[in-house]
Chains A and B, each alone.
Chain A
């Protein structure tokens, strides 16, 4: 059946588009939606309902529809789209859905992005009120953004054939849009839905940029864009949605909102059927009846629920041979699939379309999101904006005003006020267009439902929720609309209560005998219409999901086969496997080479903070548990930082660079946090201190050169430096030249070996690294990664913050009482050390563990128990293994652990459950290698 009219509509009848629906081929035209094209081809059944499997069709012409659910299958699979919002293009393939969509199995090839926009006046909706508002504001000189969800401006005008100023309304619209687009500072965005309204004029809008192009969409253009609009003033000209009346069997395909049928006719040149019944509670549906009749639809009957039909419109109907029955209602329908007959009282009227109007619901979603209060308008039977917001104005039918000229007038007022509020008062008056519309909708009767078979009277067609469900909910004792919504699931699908919510509220109020004005409507929340996850994720995916930080020497590591570990945002070399090596063999080799000769690593990721000022020492004394102000220039001290709660938060070395200057190092992962921590204390607690902190992490390339032959290597590349133990003591630093570039060399060790840390500007990082490699070649210098670093330090019992600590560990627990000053009157965390819990003797303390079998490697994270047999759970746990490695130096495995009363248990045997067995371990001191520290000086 072809339901396309001969002329009219804003479709390009000269071009045929081929598309497939449910496996069948059809044609349509540019300008069609999938819904209009299907209706034109006589396809009224789109899918079926989720619970009852009843056929579902097209109820509305736009995004307010909730039943025409389709799965687009080509160009790319996308679930749960409304056919009324899918623009037709050549090659489109879709199928109807049974209430659930399907996610594509393959990755989405499309790109998505976001753009920020700032403006003085944002106008949402390009209907008559929005256009006048935007033009008024634009003429005042304000920066204006006009967004509209449709592919063309006009709003409600797109669905009528009315005249403005004695010419087709489309011409008036085109003129306004043309002026807006040619005005500097004005941005008009089509296919752009404002879906979220947040604090301080922040509005999110989704622009569909290429969907309508189908297979012709250019590669490299973002498919959808989220506009993040920050506006001073907003004019919401979001229009109104027609509301149905609920009656038995109101869900058959072919039952459509009257204004939507009119839109299909005028915008798409599509008839809703060949013989239609119109059921209305107000005047507006008469226009649909008359227009459709004039287009050749047999209007079998107009059923007007009001006691009397409006005389003028009734006369117009009579003139066209259309029967009008007032004071009656539709009481049921028939049809297998599409509607085939309508019952009006005892009368049965055969038809293939039923057009319904129950009045209008202003679109108040965004206003409500902006925290605007809603008020029940009893005459309209709808919630309307109930009060002013200082930065948000509502104009047009979104206020409940349904007369076109009045809407335009509101638009002008809102545009003027919004522009003035944003500081623009110079605008001229925009002339209001004169309308020839013959219908107003104000004179309606509020009718929620026609009594009958409540089980077949659908309130939310997508959720299959009925009047019976609503009445069961109130009968169950529910009073709040939120409860009824949850009991019935009404308004939880695509319509999000836009249409069904109002009707449900009406039925609830009737059932409970309360005034709707006393009911709180369910809350409108973002998004206004559904938004794809990918659009919201935008460009923040893959490598852009979180910045990747690499050191200056990174390319060398990549070229030399390093595997990397993510530490915070950094990529750090984990180990450098040679052919055939796994982690353990590579690390054993790296460890052995370092302890026996010389190794080096890239330590550039360590946080570095330059702390300067007269009070720098005093400041660091407060932040570190130990004393820093007494450190001599030229010397280095290890320090621990605690939170106010006394738990270790970071550690590192502090270098005294000058009288009023220190260089603080932090762990890789905490660098930013520690800088923030310093700034917080400085700015909010001790602004009187003369201290300035600067992050210099990335300014330096840092290369620890480690092992007994490190001195030889350093001497080779730093001929100007006296590297002797006497001239270059442990925990001191010297400025010199390394490989011909200025360098600061620190003698510190995180391995127990003789070691130097060479710092050069990042620019020279690779060159110096390569020079060290070359100079170390005679000694078999071995680059090593984080894993070897971890093993070397663990053999010496040095903790790693975040591995040996977990925000419940004090310096004392780590055996670092030596790093906690007893002289300082105060430092951050000190007071917490005196709390009862801190002084328990059974705190968990850092110790070493040696498995009885030196070949057994304890899994890190293993728990530790006291008995050689596991009792029934819950089992008392003494602590856990924090680090565990095979050790080349020890010739066996070992572990570090936090163990209850650990320091007292040294020498005890404890047990570690591993899989189904208990591994006996001996508790030792945490320092396992070179306890005397003999290797430090080489």
Chain B
């Protein structure tokens, strides 16, 4: 079980969190302007790297805040956490 440092509450057990997949995938400005293929990209396609991954977590059983994290998917080590709206920090895996 990972210990996840919620940027609002501090380190808490993974069981308190909800996973939200890839971060920084913005809802398209104007979906109607997209082709079916572009829309499918938004709906279904996410990065799935082996290595550092910017992803979303929600501290569901705590402050209920969403935040972003960079986690190494090979080791599951959390390399950084940051609040929504903040830029992704530079990390070294």
Contact = CB atoms under 8 A, between A and B. Distances in A.
Contacts of B85: 687
A812 B64 CA distance: 34
B3 A676 contact: no
Contact of B27 (A202, A371, A676, A685): A685
Given A200-B3, A371-B75, A684-B84, A831 B64 contact: no
B32 A831 contact: yes
Contact of B66 (A684, A825, A835): A684
Nearest to A830: B31
A230 interface: yes
A831 B2 CA distance: 37
A834 B34 CA distance: 11
Contacts of B76: 199
A390 to B, nearest CB: 11
Contacts of B91: none
B66 A679 contact: yes
A685 B26 contact: yes
Contacts of A680: 20, 58, 66
A687 B43 contact: no
Contact of A835 (B2, B32, B36, B75): B36
Contact of B31 (A202, A230, A684, A831): A831
Contacts of B46: none
Interface string B2-20: 1100000000010000101
A645 interface: yes
Nearest to A200: B3
A201 B78 CA distance: 13
Nearest to B29: A826
A676 B18 contact: yes
A687 B84 contact: yes
Given A371-B75, A680-B20, A684-B20, A826 B3 contact: no
A41 interface: no
B90 interface: no
A687 B84 CA distance: 9
Contact of B32 (A201, A826, A836): A826
A199 B72 CA distance: 12
Interface residues of A, dominant DSSP: helix
Contacts of A835: 36, 39
Contacts of A830: 31-32
A556 interface: no
Given A685-B26, A685-B27, A199 B64 contact: no
B83 to A, nearest CB: 10
A230 B3 CA distance: 9
A644 interface: yes
Interface string A652-680: 00000000000000000000000010011
A151 interface: no
B1 to A, nearest CB: 5
A103 B84 CA distance: 52
A826 B66 contact: no
B64 A679 contact: yes
B73 interface: no
A371 B30 CA distance: 46
A2 interface: no
Given A201-B3, A683-B84, A687-B84, A831 B34 contact: yes
Interface residues of B, number: 29
A95 B3 CA distance: 44
A835 B35 CA distance: 9
B23 to A, nearest CB: 8
A832 interface: yes
Q: Which of A685, A831, A832 has the most CB of B within 10 A?
A: A831
Given A676-B58, A679-B58, A679-B66, A826 B31 contact: yes
Contacts of A679: 58, 64, 66
Nearest to B18: A676
A198 interface: yes
B2 A199 contact: yes
Contacts of B27: 685
A836 B32 CA distance: 14
Contacts of A676: 18, 58, 60
A832 B1 CA distance: 37
A656 B79 CA distance: 44
A200 B85 CA distance: 27
Contacts of A200: 1-3
Contacts of B2: 199-200, 202
Nearest to B42: A644
A683 B65 contact: yes
Contacts of B32: 825-826, 830-831, 834
A645 B43 contact: yes
Q: Which of A199, A645, A685, A826 has the most CB of B within 10 A?
A: A199
Contacts of B34: 831
A31 to B, nearest CB: 37
Interface string B54-68: 001010100011100
Contact of B43 (A198, A201, A202, A832): A832
Nearest to B5: A200
Nearest to B11: A200
Nearest to A645: B43
A832 B39 contact: yes
A826 B65 CA distance: 26
A639 to B, nearest CB: 20
Interface string A195-228: 0001111100000000000000000000000000
A93 B32 CA distance: 75
Interface string A327-368: 000000000000000000000000000000000000000000
Interface string B73-89: 00111000000110000
A176 to B, nearest CB: 31
Nearest to A204: B1
Contacts of A201: 3
A684 B56 contact: yes
A199 B3 CA distance: 7
Nearest to A683: B66
Contacts of B18: 676
Q: Which of A683, A826, A834 has the most CB of B within 10 A?
A: A683
Interface in A824-856: 825-826, 830-832, 834-836
A825 B64 CA distance: 30
B77 to A, nearest CB: 8
A834 B43 CA distance: 14
B58 A199 contact: no
Interface string B24-54: 0011101110101001001110000000000
Given A199-B3, A685-B27, A836 B60 contact: no
A826 B42 CA distance: 15
A679 B3 CA distance: 23
A679 B1 CA distance: 25
13 contacts: A199-B2, A200-B3, A202-B3, A371-B75, A644-B42, A676-B58, A680-B58, A680-B66, A685-B27, A830-B32, A831-B31, A831-B32, A832-B39
Can you list the 8 inter-chain pairs with the closest CB atoms, starting with the nearest?
A831-B31, A200-B3, A683-B66, A199-B2, A685-B27, A684-B66, A644-B43, A202-B1
Given A371-B75, A831-B39, A835-B39, 8 more contacts: A202-B2, A645-B43, A645-B44, A683-B84, A684-B84, A831-B31, A832-B39, A835-B36
